[in-house]
Amino acid sequence: MALSTSGKWIIGIIAVLLGLGALFVLTVVAIFSGGETEEETVSYGTGGKVALIELNEPIMSSEETVRQFRKYRETPSVKAIVFRIDSPGGGVSASQEIYEEVRKTRESGKPIVVSMGSIAASGGYYVACGADRIMANPGTLTGSIGVIFQFLHFEELFKKLGVEASTYKSGELKDIGSPFRKATPQERAYFAELVGDVYDQFVNVVATERKLDLKHVKKYADGRVFTGRQARQWGFVDTLGTYEDAIALAGNLGEIKGTPRTVRERKRKTFFEELMGEAISDVVRWRNVVAQPILQYRLATPDER
């Protein structure tokens, strides 16, 4: 029985709607799929594997770096690790968690060589301290051993706008760091004690791991940055060299015969990340900084000094 013209139109509309629905589902899958990791060979060699773990951004989270250290620590075919750092530092807790994982991996018997790039300062230096060897370029910026804790204050701006804020609190320090008022002398003393404690944790790790006298560390632990050459002179790094030199050293420490084969994880980008580039990643990366202040082992930018 032949369909009427209206029946054909209805079937056509249904087919189009089904097609659009399928296209929508495929688009959603394409946008949000990805993010899976796969191993890629960075350089081929005749010997065993050296794994490359990279830290190329401010330290706001430890999860990904910690996961990679655990993975390669438990991978028998990987004989050593090169930890490539190009970071100004970041959150205290995240830096400490990465450092602890580096230290655990070293103590498990898996050699780790840190290769410093352009900058490995503050938290970027902290996480390096757990390795067997630290190698920097002569012009690497490192150091910046110290703590920074910042708050924004809008008190004067709100006065001009005629905006007032009311705060009801259960304790004297419950709204400490409020952007609606200046800090009291009591709060400033509290912050000084808080920052001092975290600072002591930093310098003690450096003194212990680098086998340096605590007084010597504190002499240079005033937030200053120094070059890789200065860091070598003062005992904060072991040697000067390039990324390739670090791979060769890792191969030697891992007792690899021949030229090491260097491998690393590669994360497949989602369609959305490919489309938007790094803009979305940058927004996500810094959302915690905007949302709330955190204690940081971070090199302060020139406009903050």
Q: In the predicted model, what is the mean pLDDT of the chain?
A: 83
More confident residue, 64 or 267: 64
CA–CA separation, 237 and 233 (whole Å): 8
Q: Which of 95, 115, 122, 144 is catalytic?
A: 122
Dump pLDDT digits (tens) for 214-266.
999 999 999 999 999 999 999 999 999 999 999 999 999 999 998 899 998 87
The structural domains of the chain, ordered by start, are 37-145+222-304 (3.90.226.10)
pLDDT of residue 150: 79
Quote the CA–CA distance of 21 and 28 in Å, as a whole number: 11
Q: What is the pLDDT of residues 119-147, one digit of tens each?
A: 999 999 999 999 999 999 999 999 999 99
Q: For residue 292, name the pLDDT band (cuts at 50, 70, 90).
A: very low
Q: What's the rounded Cα separation, in Å, for the pair 250 and 83? A: 10
Q: Does the annotation count 174 as an active-site position?
A: yes
Element (H, E) at 43: strand 37-43
Residue 108: its pLDDT value, please?
A: 96
- pTM for this model (two decimals): 0.79
Mean pLDDT of 295-299: 72
Tens-place pLDDT, residues 23-41: 665 555 545 555 566 767 7
Of these residues, 8, 159, 169, 174, which one is catalytic?
174
Cα-based distances in Å from 22 to 27, 29, 167, 265: 9, 11, 52, 33
What are 26's two structure tokens? Answer: 């495929």
- pLDDT confidence tier of residue 167, bands split at 50, 70 and 90: confident
- Predicted confidence (pLDDT) at residue 175 exceeds the cutoff of 80: no
Q: How confident is the model at residue 151 (pLDDT cuts 50, 70, 90)?
A: confident
> Is 122 marked active-site?
yes
